[in-house]
Amino acid sequence: MSLGQSSESRLAAALAALTSVNEIHDQETVDHCHRVGLLAEGLAACVGCDPLRVRATAIAGGIHDLGKVFVPRPILQKPGKLTPEEITVVRHHSAEGADLLGRLMELESIAPIVRAHHERHDGDGYPDGLRGTAIPRESVLIAVCDSWDAMTSPRPYRRAMQPGEAAAILRAGRESQWDPDAVDAFLRLVGH
């Protein structure tokens, strides 16, 4: 992802436009993506990714939920349990966000990372059922950061968890939901 100055300005403009679209649809998603992008950048650096991969991880983390613009707002803000049909709609967001990014030259290299951010270490994730090393490393890192922020932030359907609670869930899900090395590095990064 080596960009010249004019490519950098096109990238910045594309990211600003995508963020604006998300802001109109759901400000909480924008705020969540911003926090995940920062966490993912720190985690990628912590695990020794080269500067280009750190940058790609930060950018992808910052727009990982872009596809939620295709999810109706009442579903995103529903205070109760989602129906199976609503869950299916929500689960399409990673693929739809990746499809959108794949159409933008400046961001097409980020599309596979965004697509895979809900894949699980054990293969039970979506949209493609990838497992272990078949999942892009950047997606693996984003998944841990995404889960942490989702757990430690209030949601319409539940209170925010305390960091210790979220850390216990990450530890319990290492090797099934999340890559164990990514969980261990993340918990060191956030001091848990």
Distance, C-alpha 119 to centroid of its chain: 11
CB-count exposure of residue 66 (10 Å: 0-12, 13-18, 19+)? buried
Q: What is the pTM of this model?
A: 0.89
Tell me the per-residue pLDDT of 38-85, one tens digit each, with 9 for 90 and over. 999 999 999 999 999 999 999 999 999 989 988 998 998 888 899 999
User: Residue 180 and residue 47: Cα distance in Å, rounded?
Assistant: 12
User: Residue 120 and residue 62: Cα distance in Å, rounded?
Assistant: 20
User: Residue 97 and residue 70: Cα distance in Å, rounded?
Assistant: 9
What is the chain's length? 192
What are the residue ranges spanned by the domains of the chain? 5-189
- Token pair, residue 112, equals 């596979």
Residue 132 sits at φ, ψ, to 5 deg, of: 50, -125
Residue 110 corresponds to which amino acid?
Answer: I
Percentage of the residues of the chain whose pLDDT score is greater than 70: 87
pLDDT band of 119, cuts 50, 70, 90: very high
Whether residue 4 has pLDDT greater than 60 = no
Return the CATH fold of 5-189: Hypothetical protein af1432 (1.10.3210)
Question: 69, 89 in Cβ contact below 8 A?
Answer: no
Residue 93 corresponds to which amino acid?
Answer: H
Whether residue 3 has pLDDT greater than 60 = no
